Amino acid sequence: MSWPKAGEALATGRAIALLPVGSTEPHGPHLPLSTDAIISVEAARRAAAGLEARGWTPLILPALPYAVTDFSRDFPGAISLGRASSAALVKEICLEAIRQGCAAVCLVNSHLEPEHLAALAEAAAEASAKTGRPVVFPDKTSRRWAATLGEEFKSGACHAGRYETSLVMAVAPELVNEAVRAQLPENPVSIGRMIKKGARTFREAGGDQAYFGAPAAASAAEGETLYAALAHMVVTEVLEALEVAR
């Protein structure tokens, strides 16, 4: 989008900024380091269609591909930000989007490391408090939404497993190493439970190849179903926040 087109969209007074947030970290030996950003961008794109159908003007911002990724730092390719740096960066982006005239900002996130989630929640709360505008952070790990994202997601064994692999297969199948994916045995360990028990890295949690779940069971069809659920989550929370703000 050129700046004149952006200006036209902002002038409507109904612009909603969608910020896709990902990470740069290993997702098994079969998915790219950019997996989270790929998923967030596509979820934002589909949510944008839903918001536009309801009379809003969604603007998808360039994706933020870095985050707190301490759990994967002992694998090649992982690039981690500190929590304070990550929160500050996201907050500044939100403040600038609102300064430009957006009625609300929504963080469309696919990276689930606890410290990262905390950084996003902090950034959203502070930006909203400072501007008086809704800064929405739909948390897919919450009880409300986790139940809509499939059995593997609910189990917690869902890093680069069936859930995330299906989502990448649906939009970028050329980035999935199929020869490797088909041979990967299921790793049923719930990384969520292992974190609660004190695990600090993927390896400590039982993910020697940086995946949890069943990537061999993934499919593009399941990815389509999951994107519908993710888009619904984003649209619902944005509309709810706007209603409260009226």
Render pLDDT for 144-193 as a digit per residue (tens, 0 to 9). 999 999 999 999 999 999 999 999 999 999 999 999 999 999 999 999 89
**Residue 64 phi, psi dihedral angles, 5° rounding:** -95, 110
pLDDT (0 to 100) of residue 192: 87
Angstrom distance (rounded) from CA 124 to CA 76: 31
What percentage of the chain exceeds 90 in pLDDT?
Answer: 97
* Amino acid in the structure at residue 93: I
216-234 pLDDT, tens digit each: 999 999 999 999 999 999 9
36-53 pLDDT, tens digit each: 999 999 999 999 999 999
Class of domain 8-245: alpha beta
105-142 pLDDT, tens digit each: 999 999 999 999 999 999 999 999 999 999 999 999 99
**Does the pLDDT value for residue 246 go beyond 90?**
no
Among 226, 13, 35, 51, CA closest to 136: 51
pTM, 2 dp: 0.97
Eight-state DSSP code of residue 72 = G
Return the beta strands (E) in the chain as ranges. Answer: 15-21, 57-60, 104-109, 135-136
**Does the pLDDT value for residue 245 go beyond 80?**
no
Domain boundaries, the chain: 8-245
7-33 pLDDT, tens digit each: 999 999 999 999 999 999 999 999 999
Among 46, 66, 63, CA closest to 238: 46
Identify the band that residue 244 occupies on the pLDDT scale cut at 50, 70 and 90. confident
